[in-house]
A and B are shown apart, each in its own frame.
Chain A
Amino acid sequence: MTAPAQAPAPGDRPGRGRYSRRNRGERFMVPKAEFQSYYGRPIIKEPVWEVPDVPGYLFFGGLAGASSVLAAGAQLTGRPGLTRVAKLAGLGGISVSTVFLIHDLGRPARFHHMLRVFKLSSPMSVGSWILSAYGPMAGAAAVADLAKLLPPTGPAATLTARAAAVAGPPATAVAALLGPAVATYTAVLICDTAVPGWHAAHREMPYVFVGSAASAAGGFALLTAPRAEQGPARRLAVLGSVAELAARQLLERRLGDLAEPYHQGKSGRLLKTAEILTAAGAAGAALTRRTRIGSALSGLTLLAASALTRYGIFEAGMASARDPKYTVVPQRERQQARTRLP
């Protein structure tokens, strides 16, 4: 130890290693940054949300929201088969999504406390109100549609049919208007946290979620709707998949070094698989117009892709929360940028 410059920097000891970066072409934003931590412990807390609850909540909510839009379009353009499956996807999706949400609560018996207040500053509060408005509408739309299946005999059946005819169209319309909100608010929900991998992506995440939702809704209809009525579902699936893949490119470019969890480890593998399945499903949807089995397989692929996308994004956020470098390095850089440019 001769030169003072070699004296260890304060705090050298507890930090486990430095944040060394590989040069990764255009994603390389800043030179190698020094990184220190408290015994390598995370700074922020990893979310206590669980798998499959929360990824499932995100996926089924997206499926439901986009399906309600598809259902309204199908009803307006006279496609009864597509209308029925899309409405069922709306009701089924939102039911499963809500069950996942409640199951994930630490105190599920108090789920209704979500509706004690309306807080614009809480995406979960706003989302709970969106869900409470959307759920019954999606339900009414689906039930009114199923009422058409009842045998048309007797006064009770007539009454039911009349009620369905009155309640069905407005419920379908309101569900279609709220559907996009259901499909997007969850993106705001996860991004409004200190989780670096989510928060830094807050501009792009809603587009990824909407694309993924459209792709899932289209996929479900390809799997279940009569072939003659599948056209719009096919186009929605392709458009949604393209939008999702494009938004993910933007997201990862914006994140720079923070995109690491989107490429590495378990979350990286999930998202790579999701990307391949989305592309394959979209290609299948575009090319298999003539075969029932081809359409069904494409639909199934797209559903799996959408679910994996949500799961992968969930895990990428968790990974970014666990490693303190994702919290410390960007904050240090922000601080340095501020002192350079007062």
Chain B
Amino acid sequence: MAVTDEPYLPGLTGGADPADRAGWREHPARMGFFTDTSVCIGCKACEVACKEWNDVPEDGLNLTGMSFDNTVGLSGTTWRHVAFIEQIAPRPPEPEPADENSGPPSDALRWLMSSDVCKHCSEAGCLDVCPTGALMRTEFGTVVVQDDICNGCGYCVPACPFGVIGRSEVDSGAHKCTLCYDRLDAGMEPACAKACPTQSIQFGPLDELRERAQARVDTLHDQGRPEAQLYLENPENGIGGAGAFFLLLDRPEVYGLPPDPVVSTRALPTMWKHAGLAAAGLGAMALAAFAGRRR
């Protein structure tokens, strides 16, 4: 199995499947996560399982005052993060139905809980900008950092539109979720999905997960939960489709997620065009400077 550095050029290299595009000739179906936050109970088993399995270093035991979230966010040393939001539940759109099972009563306090993870974008900003080839596309369509290659330049960190990847203070290298590459290789599911007691984190071939997610959101709508919405399920979004998508009960930004992420590399041709013109401008300024009087 050759490890390939993705020769991806926005607008130039086609192909819907990122593993194909990266040069994998024979590869399994694209695998990913569907995180159904409507059944998340905030137990943080995913956070613990991830740290345990991947041997991710401890990165602080602090009390933040952000509800039960003392993890704060994803980073080089946190690859799963459970968000906790306390809010007043939205009112049902129609007059209160008599049926008690048709959604939370109005003005009730509700807890939103959501386990966040790397999105394994089809057009991954981190992978695009990595100058060493440390970030690579696996045969499963996921994005993985090769720690023995990474030189800690940190370019991937601001390139991620979700703020997922981080440079670890422990070893100064970039790290993030690998979708448990080692477990996938052995035919097992990722540690977080395995540990999730409510099947909020579902793992599988991406196509299958999309169908399952659509069915789930339809069910929730039928049950009088119009606020249920899929996030990043569209393969034609600004990141070319995500390998991890979500069912949310509020706007993405409420969970700390960007509402309409677009990978910055899509603008790269425009950027180089202007850089080229600017470089020519420097030549022109120099010509003008020397064209004047001789003194």
Contacts and interface: CB of A to CB of B under 8 A. Distances in A.
A and B, one complex?
A: yes
Interface string B154-170: 11011111111111000
A63 B153 CA distance: 23
A47 B154 contact: yes
Interface residues of A, number: 95
A66 B283 CA distance: 9
Given A11-B250, A38-B256, A119-B5, A106 B173 contact: yes
Contacts of A184: 275-276, 278-279, 282
A332 B8 CA distance: 28
B20 interface: no
B268 A121 contact: yes
Interface string A191-227: 1111100010011111101100110001000000000
Contacts, number: 290
Given A44-B160, A106-B151, A121 B128 contact: yes
Most chain A CB atoms below 10 A, which of B151, B255, B286? B286
B162 A43 contact: yes
Interface string A179-197: 1110111011101111100
Interface stretch (A147-155, A157-165, A230-238, A273-281): A230-238
Given A206-B277, A332-B259, A192 B129 contact: yes
Which of A45, A209, A232 has most chain B Cβ within 10 Å?
A: A45
Interface centre among B9, B83, B264 (most CB of A within 10 A): B264
Interface of A: 1, 4, 7-15, 35-39, 41-49, 65-66, 69-70, 73, 76-77, 104-108, 110-111, 113-114, 116-117, 119-125, 127-128, 179-181, 183-185, 187-189, 191-195, 199, 202-207, 209-210, 213-214, 218, 228, 231-233, 235-236, 239-240, 243, 321, 324, 327-328, 331-332, 334-335
Nearest to B285: A239
Interface in B112-161: 125, 128-134, 149-155, 157-161
Contacts of B134: 113
Interface centre among B8, B165, B285 (most CB of A within 10 A): B285
Nearest to A45: B163
Interface stretch (B32-40, B52-60, B87-95, B209-217): B87-95
B160 A194 contact: yes
A107 B150 contact: yes
Interface of B: 5-10, 66, 69, 72-73, 75, 83, 85-91, 106-107, 125, 128-134, 149-155, 157-167, 172-174, 227, 249-251, 253-261, 264-265, 267-268, 270-272, 274-283, 285-290, 292-295
A58 to B, nearest CB: 14
B257 A43 contact: yes
A292 B260 CA distance: 56
B85 A232 contact: no
A7 B90 contact: yes
B294 A77 contact: yes
A274 B92 CA distance: 55
